[in-house]
Amino acid sequence: MSGRVADQLGTGAPEPATDRTVVGENLSLPLFRTLSGVLSGHPYLKVVVDRAEGTWHLLDTAVHPFHVNYIATQVLGMDLAELDATLDEFNASVYMDPERRFLLGVLSLHTGEDPEGRERTFLVLETTEADTMHGGLLEFFFTFVRERVDGRLPLLLKPANHGQEEELAAVSEQRVPRILSHELFGTRTRTPLNPGEATGRLRCFRSVEEYEAAVDGLGWSDIVAMPSLPDNVERVAGLINTEPITPLSHTNVLASGWDIPNAILRDLEQLVEKDGLDGAWVRYRVREDEITLERLDQAPELRAPAWHQQRIRLEPPLLEDAPVLSLYRLRSADRDRYGTKAANLGELHQVLDSRTADLTGFYGRPRPPREDLYGHLAARLGLRTPSAAELRAAAASFVADTVEAPEGIALPFSLQHRFLTSSPALQQGIGKLKMALELDATDVLDSLCLHVQHLIRHTPIPESVAREITCVLPAPLAARGRLVVRSSSNAEDLPGFSAAGLYDSVTTVRGTEELLDAVRRVWASLLSPRSVRLRHQAGISLDDTYMGVIIQVYVPAALGGVLVTCNPTRRQDFRNVYLNCSPGSPEQVVEGAVLPQQYCYNTVEGGGRTVDLGSWSEGLSAGTRARLADLSLTGRLLQSHFSAPEVDAPLDIEWLLTDQDDFRLVQIRPYAL
């Protein structure tokens, strides 16, 4: 047994009494349980196969949290300072060298049903996601482990990335039984979506209709549970879904922005029935490795959450007359006249056209023990030891060659202001609404909002305003038939207020009449009961709130989706970005019309993996997945520009792959974390 202490690993933890790491012994289930830890709710054990010595090491998880630290200090006799100085080279030698001495993996214990429907316990062997084992090494690794594991325990190999999946395609499943990531985790009983903790009253609903009938009685201390939460869910203490959804759904973006726990609990009905939880006070915890619901014996003393006293102050919008402009003429500084979404798309045009922006900032941040990740970025771009200027130029060219910015025009806040002030009836309706907000008369808010929305939808747009909208529309845009009209407010993408899914977009617009009606609909969405109520809760003044509009050409999409430049369920993960997609428009993903395919892409070492196939029976082709890897790296590079100076702040990007096989970005906004 090994006797190295924990402080040699840099953990800072007290030295354990013993290190139970085992070398060369066969693995039984009792030994597995002795050495294992827990990850994502499953017991797991780290293993190292030493091909040179013909043996393997079963690591005591409590003492050795990192494979490479163990190999360096325990097997090769290095100290941690020496390892840190050559960490990337060392990692390449154990994860990428086709002739490597050491094979690193994890054994995890699972339960499931066999083909006859009987419950069974089985082990899964996998490598780390950055590992590039070829098919021969994967087969050797599996066979070596299989021969040393209790024969009564079924063992399956899980490829850790798309590259390993493709390598295994040439290996018989009889020789290497396998299970894919989405097959293993796509049916998990409990899945974390947004980490957090809440104490509140559990309210269970079986349908949207049942929820809507009770919504007026919900409060900030409730935890709402139902099969799939609607996009217009109220701001409460916590959210629970009992059917699968994606972490990039509108409701989870809201949960992230509101900093409340959200998870999928497929076994909620059994928990409720067993412990009588519906209507009970509970403590709800969502962590990466555990989700719990604990019934409380009595109602706790609760204080109103911080957001209940929240006051978000907007920079006053600029309402003097501003021209209708093509998107490519806008810059990020124009957000106070045209809204954040329009300004970001204009800034995207600038980035793609100039090719001078420094898009390498994310990779320049220290990631201890590394001073930076420039070497990894250079490898992703196919460069060897480039200068800083060469790396910046290559990054800018890569982004410009991978994606395009949308054509379109932006309507300023001043047009909405002129429209609203053109009608005495509108002014009177808005005045009543402001009075109700000042008096906190929440019982009449909904009816007042609906009345003002009705007036906006049916009040004629003044001829001068209509002319500015229709006459400035470029002939090529007007001639292409179908347009998309999107919101661009100043009351969204704010710290503590994401407004995801709060305002309307209209995607099927043809002709002048439909265009003007769509513009009014987008303007009216600023005054919907829900948007007014949520902004009021956040302390955002209606006086300072305005709506700009984006008019874009509709582009047919073969594939569309959303990319966030982080791993939403693992906040400390700086490597991966999360991507959802489905055939057709991105709206299918964000609106929850279908359950999208879900992928993770590593933007440091490279590689990707399938998380869930959603509503589809098959994944994307290898060629399309490779294209999505390029899109993911592009999103990470754009993060350096749009999140500067805080380059670790992630982006939420809506994209589509056209029927001409080109990527088009249709929205860039901060992702609420």
pLDDT in tens, 49-58: 999 999 999 9
pLDDT band at 569 (very low <50, low <70, confident <90, very high): confident
Rounded CA separation 662/406 (Å) = 12
The pLDDT value given to residue 307: 65
Please give the mean pLDDT across all residues of the chain.
90
Instruction: Tokens for 219, please give them.
Output: 């409060």
pLDDT band at 3 (very low <50, low <70, confident <90, very high): very low
Q: Rounded mean pLDDT of 427-451? A: 94
Please, what are the domains in the chain?
6-179 (no CATH), 190-307 (3.50.30.10), 310-358+388-554 (3.30.1490.20), 556-670 (3.30.470.20)
Instruction: Tokens for 510, please give them.
Output: 């043809």
Residue 477, CB half-sphere, CA atoms under 13 Å: how many?
24
Which of 131-145, 249-263, 636-650 shows the highest mean pLDDT? 131-145
The pLDDT value given to residue 6: 30
Which of 120-124, 409-413, 501-505 shows the highest mean pLDDT? 409-413
* pLDDT at 4 exceeding the cut of 60: no
| Percent of the chain's residues with pLDDT above 90 | 67
Q: 83 near 72, Cβ under 8 Å?
A: yes
* pLDDT at 14 exceeding the cut of 60: no
The pLDDT value given to residue 328: 95
**SS3 assignment for 389-457:** HHHHHHHHHHHHHHEECCCEEEECHHHHHHHHHCCHHHHHHHHHHHHHHHCCCHHHHHHHHHHHHHHHH
Instruction: Tokens for 441, please give them.
Output: 């008369």
pLDDT band at 475 (very low <50, low <70, confident <90, very high): low
The pLDDT value given to residue 456: 97
